[in-house]
Amino acid sequence: MTSTANTDKPTRFRQVALPRARLEYTDVENASGGDALHTTTMRPKRREPMRWMGHNSGYIFIACVFLLFMRAGFYAGNNHRKDDAYAEDYKADGSWLPMTSTLLPFSTDGRAPASVKEHPIPKLMEEAEAKFRQKLAGQSKTLKAAVAEYRKRYKRDPPRGFDGWWKFAQKHRVKLVDDYDGLVADLAPFWELSGEELRRRAVQVGELPSIDLVRIKDGKASTLKLNHDFDDSEVSARANGFRAMLSKFAHTLPDMDFPINAKAEGRVLVPWEHRKYPNLTLQDSSAGVEAMLNGPFQPDWGNHGTVWEAWRRTCDPTSAARRVFASLRNSFTHQIRNYFSSSPVGAGSDFRFVTTTSASTIDFCERPYEHYTQGHFFSDWRTILALYPVFSPARAKGFLDIKIPSHYYYGSTKRYTYGWDAINLELKEVDDMDVPWEQKIDKIFWRGATTGGGSHPPGFSPQYQRHRFLRMASDKSDTNRTVTFAHPQSSKYYVSAPVPVAHLNKETMDTAFVKAVSPESYPGGLKALMESHRFGDSVPLGKHWSYKYLIDLDGMSYSGRFMAFLASDSVPIKATVYEEYFSDWIQPWVHFIPLSSSYREIYNIHAYFSGPTRSALEALNSTLLELTPQRRRNTEGDRRLRRIARAGKQWKKTIGRTIDMEVYVYRLAIEWARLWSDDRGSMSFSL
């Protein structure tokens, strides 16, 4: 009999103190929260030491434990019994199992548990669903209630026009009318500026390269490009999209300007000292934008610095990011492997599930080494180092851009829109290429270009988010990764197996780059890039719907395909460091599966929902290999996975609609109008 505890290294048992005869069991129930594993103890009735053991007691103890599990028939390949009979034995003799989450007394060296009685994912889903239901149920039902909720949350009256916005939202059956905390936080720094100063800065920043203005004048919105000296490849698409979002209610708004970022990347980074002590920076912009920025503004960094050097100045001076200068040298010139090592460390990361994406959880100020893994710190486009209003489609931590809905989400294109019929120019509820759930391929799918960051400084691209994921998913080595899955004949019982990552990738992944962008910036050039990552042919967006799992990765900024993924009948697995306009409205583990920035848990995500692959069962020498793939599937996991797919699709149909984007922009516009005014008190609303 081969135990499921086998790994690529011999199993190590914890050293125990004989006088108390204590067995320690690792508890993985809280592995989802990212906390260190803790232990519980089970004490036999006999507390006195057994003196006859003597100095060989440790060996005798290990032998006893081994015999115990031999007797228990731990879920491994069994040459003498069929697995259906074996499952019956488990049901009849399950009383010996400890009340903690594991069977074997492993040492706490980070390895995956040998067996798990309670998987963390169902609990994560149930808690997330309860939280989202509570959010929906708590929304204001009347204008009076909405005003009261606004005052409670933000300690001031709503802006003028709030009643008109409320009527617009009610007309279009908007589900979430109170949750605008992110919007209010985006605008908070601009309360420090007077209306006159804000108006002047809005025009000035519109004169910079890659910034357009959407101007409301006499109730009509138009797009302006003030800078004609810079030959920009962008064509004001984001500004035109924002103007379209304003069109239904522009006539209700006062004259004002919205500076719109033409780029996907964030633009505004204000040093911590200038935020904390405003007198350290120029407060009056009447001398012009060059005076505010201490000289002419260059559109790209050139030799004038990097995003990271600018970003780390947004941190407290006592933080680690302000005290290190590691970004001045390239630590990865001769090291292409992933910064997050692929060596098997088990439960330390492979079996730990995040509750949300990394947008609000990674503290780059205190963990500056992690900035190497995110391409937005190496963007070519120079940031603006003073408090200027710039409206952007996404916002990473530390930036002061103001979030607006992406034009990719609002418009309809064959590259970014689910159900778009480019021939008849109409949007269909079900995409022509989508397939029923039962026909979807049980793999994780991704296609995209080698974007993800710039080359300032050069040489860091191997650690960008897409490159790291593709290199992991392209790994053909025999390095083991431990996966934990439900026993196919007892969904309440989980076992673990070490599986070579090459086999896992073949059985669970269908991911590839389809285009090499600026391959010369990759160490070793195009040849090295193609050797380390799988490349494939380009596919239409509709090809994604053939798969159950759709991985969603950041590119130069946010992923423009996320809304399309939600609208499909597949499940997005999203890893991102960005917040977007809808971040207050969507719930991880209800509408999508969140993924950590290391991606390590993705194999265990697949193992929970889809059950063991053939290689996982081979690692256990299991006679379950005799079952068909259909019978080996975890039906409970598949049911839960489909539940997420349906919830995401329903969210897109009821909360992620284009009209909901307009409602968000309407609310943003009346808040902006109050800030734009010289007399902000008169621009408030009260019943």
CA dihedral 60, 65, 68, 70 (to 10 degrees): -100
600 neighbors 338 (Cβ within 8 angstroms): no
Choice between 546 and 349, residue whose per-residue pLDDT is larger:
546
Asked if residue 46 has pLDDT above 50, the reply is no
Which residue in this structure is represented by tokens 């070579």?
500
Question: Which is higher by pLDDT, 281 or 218?
Answer: 218
Radius of gyration of the chain (CA): 28
Instruction: Give per-residue pLDDT as tens, 302-332.
Output: 888 999 999 999 999 999 999 876 544 555 5
Q: What does the pLDDT read at residue 633?
A: 67
The predicted pLDDT at position 29 comes to 30
Rounded Cα gap, residues 135 and 428, in angstroms: 30
Helix H or strand E segment including 566: helix 562-567
Go through the chain and tell me how many residues it has.
Answer: 687
Predicted confidence band of residue 430 (pLDDT cuts 50, 70, 90): very high
Q: Is the pLDDT of residue 538 over 60?
A: yes
pLDDT exceeds cutoff 60 at 40: no
pLDDT above 70: percentage of residues in the chain: 76
Higher pLDDT, 592 or 68: 592
Please provide the DSSP assignment of 129-152 as one string. HHHHHHHHHTS--SHHHHHHHHHH
Instruction: Tell me what pLDDT residue 359 has.
Output: 78
Secondary structure element (H or E) that encloses residue 531, with its range: helix 525-532
- Give the tens place of pLDDT for each residue, 149-167: 999 999 999 999 999 999 9
Neighbours of 25 (CB within 10 A): 20
Number of Cβ within 10 Å of residue 55's Cβ equals 6
Q: What pLDDT shows up at residue 237? A: 93
645: CB partners within 8 A, 6+ apart: 437, 548, 568, 569, 570, 571
Q: What is the mean pLDDT of the chain?
A: 82
* pLDDT for position 336: 58
Choose between 64 and 5: higher pLDDT: 64
Cβ neighbors of 556 (< 8 A, separation 6 or more) are: 263, 264, 265, 375, 376, 379, 451, 452, 453, 454
Distance from C-alpha of 504 to C-alpha of 513, rounded to nearest angstrom: 19
Q: How far apart are CA 572 and CA 562, in angstroms?
A: 8
Helix 658-676 to helix 237-246 angle (10° resolution) is 90
Q: pLDDT tens digit string along 201-245?
A: 999 999 999 999 999 999 999 999 887 676 676 778 999 999 999
Say yes or no to pLDDT of 503 above 90. yes
In this predicted structure, the answer to whether residue 471 has a pLDDT above a threshold of 50 is yes
Q: Any residues with CB less than 8 A from the CB of 355 and at least 6 apart, and which?
A: 32, 33, 124, 128, 588, 589, 594
- In the structure, what pLDDT confidence band is assigned to residue 491 with cuts at 50, 70 and 90? low
Can you tell me the mean pLDDT for 413-419?
Answer: 95
Residues 6+ apart with CB under 8 A from 560: 406, 408, 409, 416
What is the pLDDT at residue 330? 52
**pLDDT(74) > 90:** no
Task: Kindly state the average pLDDT of the residues 271-276.
Answer: 92
Decide if pLDDT at 116 tops 90: no
The average pLDDT across 518-534 equals: 93
pLDDT at 88 over 50: no
All residues at 6 or more sequence positions from 445 whose CB lies less than 8 Å from its CB, including other chains: 510, 511, 543, 544, 546, 547, 549, 550, 551
Q: Do residues 470 and 511 touch, judged by C-beta distance below 8 A?
A: yes
Least confidently predicted of 88-97, 208-217, 227-236, 418-427: 88-97
Residue 93 has pLDDT above 70, yes or no: no
Residue range 264-272: mean pLDDT, rounded: 96
pLDDT at 225: 86
Domain parsing of the chain, residue ranges: 18-114
Rounded Cα–Cα distance for residues 325 and 321 (Å): 8
Residues with Cβ within 8 Å of residue 88, at least 6 apart in sequence: none
Q: pLDDT tens digits for 477-488?
A: 999 999 998 876
Whether the per-residue pLDDT at 390 is higher than 80: the answer is: yes
> Averaging pLDDT over each range in 50-54, 302-306, 329-333, 416-420, which range is the top one?
416-420
**Alpha helices for 138-252 (secondary structure H):** 143-154, 162-171, 181-187, 195-205, 237-246
pLDDT of residue 635: 85
Name residues whose C-beta falls within 8 Å of residue 622's C-beta, 6 or more positions apart in sequence: 75, 76, 77, 83
Examine the pLDDT at 195 and tell me if it is beyond 60: yes
Residue 19: pLDDT above 50? no
What is the predicted pLDDT for the residue at 56? Answer: 46
